[in-house]
Amino acid sequence: MSGTPLIELKGVTRTYGEGATALQALKGVNLRIEAGDFVAIMGPSGSGKSTAMNTLGCLDTPTTGEYLFQGVHVETLGRDQRARLRRHYLGFVFQGFNLLARTSAQENVELPLLYRGESATARHKAAALALAQVGLQGWEHHTPAELSGGQQQRVAIARAIVTQPTVLLADEPTGNLDTKRSAEIMELLQDLNVQHGITVLMVTHEPDMAAYAKRMVRFVDGLVESDVLNPHPVPRHAAAPQEVH
């Protein structure tokens, strides 16, 4: 591949602790991610995949090595600069949804825009659009307790994309869902990737979910063991599913 990738890790290591008790979670990771990619990051527990994801999400910093985002050396940025990068370029989706319990879907989705200082009018408009994108138009005023697990994860995805991020980082996004809801969420991620050009990085331990990605990266013992294109990704539906549960 030629040109500047969207993301590049060069010889990235991450060590926790010092001396005899030091744990080296990453041992020299090299990884290129192109704009518009959909990457499934896999590996056994303790393989370094979560540390790599935290590094890519600017939630952690390398001990040594380089992390370039659109050609910028992230490892040289200060805490505030990394926070700004997260706010403007990255969206996060977690296994546990992480929604505010007594807050409506609309208000949950508006939160990142509130942190960015957007006006109430701009927040309302953007949140309504994001909820419509994930198939939740008409559910804006429901609280998480009034929503199914699949719907809650859709709210979480709407919250992640309301800032129109360049990259969506999804950590086990279907881990708390049944098979049908998992497939619906994966179809939604495919749609955001293909239709809206969002680069998706997804940690998963489920091969059935990784099958939706364009590319599969497997971590073992703090290193990338394999990095292959998915020869037969699950075909994308013509549109995101209309039925919402």
Q: What is the CATH number of the domain that holds 215?
A: 3.40.50.300
In a domain, 20, yes or no: yes
Residue 237 has pLDDT above 90, yes or no: no
- What is the per-residue pLDDT for 245? 46
What is the rounded end-to-end Cα distance, in angstroms, of the chain?
A: 41
- The overall average pLDDT reported for the chain is 92
Four-residue CA torsion sign, 96, 98, 102, 108: negative
- Domain with 220, as residue range(s), is 7-229
- What is the per-residue pLDDT for 4? 87
Q: In the predicted model, what is the mean pLDDT of residues 104-110?
A: 96
In a domain, 244, yes or no: no
In a domain, 38, yes or no: yes
Residue 185 has pLDDT above 80, yes or no: yes
Residue 238 has pLDDT above 50, yes or no: no
Tokens representing 76 are: 């040289």
In a domain, 172, yes or no: yes
In a domain, 15, yes or no: yes
In a domain, 142, yes or no: yes
Torsion angles phi and psi, residue 120, rounded to 5 = -60, -40
In a domain, 1, yes or no: no
Structural domain count, the chain: 1
Task: Label residues 97-122 b or e (16+ Cβ within 10 Å = b).
Answer: bebeeeebbbbbbbbbbeeeebeeee
What would the pLDDT profile of 38-74 be if each residue is shown by its tens digit? 999 999 999 999 999 999 999 999 999 999 999 999 9
More confident residue, 9 or 242: 9
Residue 132 has pLDDT above 90, yes or no: yes
Residue 243 has pLDDT above 70, yes or no: no
In a domain, 238, yes or no: no
Amino acid residing at 78? G
Q: Of 165, 139, 163, 162, whose CA–CA distance to 152 is shortest?
A: 139
